[in-house]
Chains A and B, each alone.
Chain A
Amino acid sequence: MKTLVNANIWRLVKAEIFYNLFVHALLFLTLTFMFYLFGGLVRDGIYQDPSLPHLLAVAIMYLLFTTRFLEKRTRYIQTLPVTQRELGLARIYAQGFYCVGALLIYGISLMASFPADLLTEGLWRFLALAALLLLGNAAFCLSFDMWAASSLPTFIKALLLALIWILILRLGTLYLEIPFAEGMSRGDVTTAIFIYKTPWGVMLQYLFAIVLSVMSYKLYIHRQSFLT
């Protein structure tokens, strides 16, 4: 039976988590301090936009994603006696854990920024950013796997990836522009509200993240070369 979790997958994911545990812990402490600081400044009306440290958290998390690929660990684990399917799933899960780290930090930020509205405004913001992060993560994995796919012409790969990233970056900028709604066009405000303030919009992002993750997984297990 094809399981989604087994001992081998857990061993691989665990290694990935613990490998970056120190960096995560350091990041966690630093950003928590920063978010409390910014949260306090926002509450006191000294600083209006709490999104800057959030953006920083996301940027650092993405830098962490890249280390996995740059360190050629794909090649390292490829020779282990585990199935291609287990390797593919472990890879997706391990990258998902980076998002969990980012969300943990963001959750603390929300506690600091919206202590009174944590279960309303705070929860919505949390779910919205989680969707955006998972989407970005899935797009990141897909970018590597699509680029490594030898069956697609380079032009097609470049075009598809450009389209995906334009869409995701636009979603990201909309998220950041929400606090400044008065300066946005009517169309952008409608889209931003749908994507980040309605259950269907948030669900749509999660669905899109899952589709991209599945595509990434499929491309990975059908790769012709694992030398990266």
Chain B
Amino acid sequence: MIHGISEILPDQLSRRQDILLSIRKVFEASHFQAITTPTFEPIEALSKGWDQFLKTSSIQFISDEGTHMVLRPEMTSSIARLISSRKEQLKLPLQLYYMENVFRRKHQLRKQELFQIGCEVIGKDDLDIDIAILQLLVQVLHAVGVHDFKIELGHVEHIQQLSPADQEALRQGMIVNVSVIPPIGDASILPKGSYLARLATQWDQRFPHYKGLLQYNLGKVESIDYYTGIMFDVLIEGVGAVVGRGGRYNDLLSAYGWNEPAVGFAIEFDQLALFLEKENT
């Protein structure tokens, strides 16, 4: 038996495809186009924008021709590599979505094969588009029947104010070693004039019916460190792991030769499907 892969039988698959279809409708109604990328490719090309986490958690092998290959460990860098190499054929801004499997090295309870649903907006960098991405995430969750959730937001500008030791401790979850614990809460914890404070004001004005859906964490860090602006997680009460995450990564595409900003999110479909199956029984 191989650890960390999923086998899905027809009944379960049919339920999952219903969920995927309703998500696809949301993306397409917002004028996002589907994209796919090669499952594996030479690591030299794909890993240009990677941090240590992606390098050490990806599954690598040597091809028949002796090329060092890697199975894509996530879609964002894979898409960045693909579109940057074909930039002459593409028109900005690009609004892309995907539903694909990605692969990670075996680590304790984590799966080796994950199914991720996500989207990217490339070529736009302002508050409006960051809010639009969050709104899209809310619409996707509502469309599949998830209503009791929070989106927790952080921003790199708050993390950068912490000492390197505190940043590292937060990244490792070692709250015990953090000198001053950064607060988590509603918009009242946000420093005046900060990007998140402006985002919070706009959000509440535009979506009064989504009140209380966002929360803020001034110590938010992500295991993947290519984020340059907002970062966020989807939290559902009673689900032990984060169901989705995303953020802004304005420097990632330039690692692949296209100097364009980007923002996006990915949903861990296995976590989401598991939650929905439990809810509906």
Say if A and B assemble together.
Answer: no
Chain A interfacial positions (CB closer than 8 Å to B): none
Q: Which residues of B contact A (CB under 8 A)?
A: none
